[in-house]
Amino acid sequence: MAILDVDLATPPCHAHARQQQAHADEQQDAGEEEDEQLLLLKGVRHLCERGTITKLPARYVLPPSDRPSPGDDEQPPRSSCVSFPVIDLARLRVPAERAAALAELDAACRDYGIFQVVGHGVDGGGGGAMLDVARRFFDLPFEERARYMSADIRAPVRYGTSFNQLNDGVLCWRDFLKLVCSDDLAGVVPSWPDAPTDLRKVVSAYARSSRRLFKELMEASLEALGIRSGAAAEMLADCDAGSQMLMVNCFPACPEPDLTLGMPPHSDYGFLTVLLQDQVNGLEVRHADRWVLVDPLPGSVVVNIGDHFEMYSNGRYKSVLHRVRVNSSRPRISVASLHGLPPERVIGPAPELVDDDKNPRMYMDTDFATFLEYLTSAEGKHKSFLHTRRLITS
């Protein structure tokens, strides 16, 4: 009753003014919230360029159960990190050593799903040119980078942020440049960024060399799996005509790295991913039920098994779950070259690796259209797409 008395005692003009002010405050709050959302969609690099950031924006803060905090007992100290297999391509090329090298490759794909490769010749062996041009691209003014911004995950050339910014409930501390390649690079290179001026030349050379590495590793892996020559030749022909996508990643220094991730836990869709990274640590893989740091080996590239190769091998090779951590002091640059078969190719277990008794079929057939449908309708993480293809779960 007292509230009613106060309201009745307020002059009508004052009540109207108060309502107008409240409405204006609501509009201002909504406008500020909208401005913040638009700012976040411009990417982490742009956010950092606006000034010193001392606190992580709320949209990047993970739930406590998903945070890679220092107190997480699954995070081992550097001294106890797993030594992942190192495959020397030079040994695969020597007839007397090939059988032993194939056995090592087979064990790496079975037991780890990830390995480091030396003697690869990718980008001159050291990867310096590719990493350098990637760093200079992200150093361009925002207006230059923004020319390629798109929320369309199907765009063949795309500058974006997070993991899947349309579906992510929590954004990731990452910006990326996506470049779809093909066996005829001359047809796609003109659509790539023209700055820095040497980007197209450097990236196309890197794309060709990583494609050669993919083909050589696939040939060796098929031999290690025991795939017969006719079927192997057909698969390698598909690899020649297959898909390739470069993801050039920038992970800026983060004010509160223990509250977020550069990339969430996920597995890669295709057959093999070739990863070039600088000497800033960040990549972790799930191994033996814990997160393990992949310490960069100078001069190496990291190769991991993708979902399609696990399906094709009928579960013999393992698509590895991985994530990227960020740090508070140094930016990190990496370039992932994701390789697969032509988009129209239906993938299923190789007939040679399936029998009704000891090795029943573990996965149903799939294609790229099915994956895209999944990707646009769900938050792709924790290998959930691969699990939707499984026929045997035990």
Helix (H) / strand (E) containing 284: strand 283-287
pLDDT in tens, 92-134: 999 999 999 999 999 999 999 999 999 887 765 456 899 999 9
Helix axes 128-138, 199-225, angle to 10 degrees: 130
pLDDT in tens, 337-352: 999 999 899 999 999 9
Alpha carbon 228 to its chain centroid, in Å, reads 32
Nearest C-alpha neighbor of 291 from the set 312, 316, 321, 315: 321
What does pTM read for this prediction?
0.86
pLDDT at 15 over 60: no
The whole-number pLDDT of residue 80 equals 46
- Mean pLDDT in residue range 138-161: 92
pLDDT band (50, 70, 90) for residue 208? very high
pLDDT at 35 over 80: no
All structural domains of the chain: 87-341 (2.60.120.330)
**Could you give the percent of the chain with pLDDT greater than 90?**
64
The whole-number pLDDT of residue 11 equals 47
Question: Could you give the CA distance from residue 22 to residue 60 in angstroms, rounded to a whole number?
Answer: 30
